[in-house]
Structure 1
Amino acid sequence: MNPLDVFYKLKNDVLLTYQKQYPYFEGNWKTFSSQDIQNLIDLIAVQVKQTVSEKWIYTHLKVETNDKLPRKDMLDILSQLVGYSGWDEYVFKWKQEVVPIVAQPKRNNKVVFSVGFIGLFLMGIFIYSYLNREEVQTIPVKNAFTEEQINSEEVKAVMIENDVETPIEIVDSKIQITAKESAKIVLKSPYYKDKTVVLGKENPNEINLQPDDYAMMLKGFMKSDIKDWETRKEQLQKILADDLEVLVMLKNDLGIEYFNKQEFSEKLIVPSVALKRMKVIDIQSNDKNEIKFIRIIQE
């Protein structure tokens, strides 16, 4: 049984899993409707906490024959849906079902045949894994102006590949990627402008984010000990929109505190310990680049 044969088994198990949730469905992949596809997408999101696109299901599941295996991360998602830790365990299950043929042979030639078959099967898996191996690349994330590395806690990154979003952990201001061509990395930060990096044959050695000037000024007000409150007040009038809304998410899930421009400015004018313990997680600006919305959590 080659890897494609195992994939056909997996497709059948996905159908059986779907039928357990929707007993009224008695068809096959050929009769799988657009509503069934949406139901399956929702089922994967609930049970596996992953997303699969409608296009991917049409391309790889609804077709009667597959020319090649899908990417392993997608095979992992389907394997988890049917009750396994991933594709490797699912393949191992079918390998185990082949082994008993060897364990109790009636003739030596059958033993040789079975052993050879298993060897070819394992070799096929090895070749597939080798051809689909992905090298890990480490990319630092820096401030485009200062060329200093950005605080890891101030940036969020996700990889988008075949309509599937996967969060990327940022450690020591660096990200590690194993994506192939056509994937994208999206980086977002309250203090920097959003950036999308399209990966290809030659990926960047570093990713530079352009600071949002007004957001950086706000950060300085909140974290530094500026003594000249008159200057601080004038600058706040410039960078904060008149219709500013500030939401502070209180600790211990106690709710949200609301501030308008005047109320929030008064908090910023006089530095305090409580102010420095506030962490900005979202900033939105208007057409004039004035800050119109701020979301904060208490640390």
Structure 2
Amino acid sequence: MTELEHFQRLKQLVLLKYQEHYPFFQGSWKTFSAQDIQNLIGLIEEINRQTISEKWIYTHLKPEVNQKIPRKDMLNILTEFVGLSGWDEFVFEASSENEAISKTKKKLSKTWLLILLPVIAIAVWYFGFYSSAKPKTNTIELNNEFTNEKIKSDEVKVVQVEDTVERNLEVKDGKVNVKTSGDKETKLVIKSPFYRPRTITLNAANNGSVVPPPKITLTPDDYAMMLKAFMISDIKDWQTRKEQLNKILADDLEVIVMLKNNLGSEYYDKNEFSQKLIVPTATVKRMKIIEVKNDADDRIQFIRIKQE
């Protein structure tokens, strides 16, 4: 504190000392009346055996703001009036008090810091680790690469692989919900009789959490798509259809048809199966392809069908 700041504090203590003798006074130096000045002069003469002039009080005590500090001998009179030995003790006491307050504040700050550090550490751990480790569910849409249309739910299978654990995911309305946790790497294995198989590896993002893409596109298997179309469409040109089937089906084709009600299976070779598709019946239209495999030339070599 500056000397002027010390003087302002001394003025307030003088007012408090005056109020001890004249408790009815509840004002400030601004409202300090002529009678109050006379009363104060009398008190100082009685307590300090010192004299202070009315003019001096008007000059140094009445102003709200002082431009300079009074003489030290006058400051000694006032500090003795409030119970100290003199101005030097007053300044020393005030400085010591301020230093003590400062030390107390620093000590409190350190104490609060020691208290808050574990809290901050826990918060950082929670939001940085636990929140990222907390399972999150993300919805992924499966689309045809060329048409951008959603893939039919019954024409695709999605398996999530995490820590060697496999889990089949439900595909609904061309979308699949993927639950990820923490920074674990997870894979999505996508299979379909009508689309090229695809494996998506989901890595941890910068914040430690795994964020799947909002959309995954699958590349159609042209021959498998043609085969599906042949099975559900009405015949228009059986000769053209026969030529097309001969092109997309491998010579060593094997077809397994799984019969309803667990009645077993039927086997067809290329010629037998082609004959069924050239003039498709209602039974053929109710067949559902569930697996297709191609040979090295990309021709269809194996078909598994479920009879519905």
**Number of residue equivalences:** 174
Could you tell me the percent identity over the aligned residues?
Answer: 53
Q: Contact 1:184/1:196 (CA < 8 Å) preserved in 2? A: yes
- Which amino acid letter does the alignment assign opposite residue 292 of structure 1? Q
> Could you tell me how far 1:143 is from its partner in structure 2?
0.4
Deviations 1:232-270 (A, max 9, x none): 000000000111110101111111101010000000000
**Structure having the higher Rg:** 2
Q: Contact 1:179/1:199 (CA < 8 Å) preserved in 2? A: no
- Which amino acid letter does the alignment assign opposite residue 190 of structure 2? L
> Could you tell me how far 1:129 is from its partner in structure 2?
7.1
Distance 1:266 1:247 in 2: 15
Distance change >3 Å, CA 231–CA 179, structure 1 → 2 = same
User: RMSD of the TM alignment (CA)?
Assistant: 1.7
Deviations 1:13-33 (A, max 9, x none): xxxxxxxxxxxxxxxxxxxxx
SS in 2 for 1:136: strand
SS in 1 for 2:228: helix
> Could you tell me how far 1:203 is from its partner in structure 2?
2.3
Residue in 2 that maps onto 1:172: 173
- Which amino acid letter does the alignment assign opposite residue 244 of structure 2? Q
Q: Contact 1:191/1:211 (CA < 8 Å) preserved in 2? A: yes
Q: Contact 1:232/1:269 (CA < 8 Å) preserved in 2? A: yes
> Could you tell me how far 1:223 is from its partner in structure 2?
1.3
Normalised by the length of structure 1, the TM-score is 0.56
Paired residues for 1:188-207 under 5 Å: 188-200=191-203, 201=205, 202-207=211-216
- Which amino acid letter does the alignment assign opposite residue 198 of structure 1? T
Residue in 2 that maps onto 1:291: 300
Paired residues for 1:44-193 under 5 Å: 132-180=133-181, 181-193=184-196
> Could you tell me how far 1:272 is from its partner in structure 2?
1.4
Distance 1:196 1:289 in 2: 20
Within the alignment, does 1:225 sit opposite 2:234 as a pair? yes
Q: Where does the alignment leave 5 or more consecutive residues of structure 2 unmatched?
A: 1-125, 206-210
Residue in 2 that maps onto 1:243: 252
Distance change >3 Å, CA 290–CA 209, structure 1 → 2 = same
Q: Where does the alignment leave 5 or more consecutive residues of structure 1 unmatched?
A: 1-126
Distance 1:274 1:179 in 2: 43
| Runs of 4 or more consecutive aligned structure 1 residues displaced over 3 Å after TM superposition | 127-132
Q: Tell me which of 258, 276, 281 is aligned to 1:267.
A: 276
Distance 2:215 2:177 in 1: 11
Distance 1:271 1:155 in 2: 25
Residue in 1 that maps onto 2:7: none
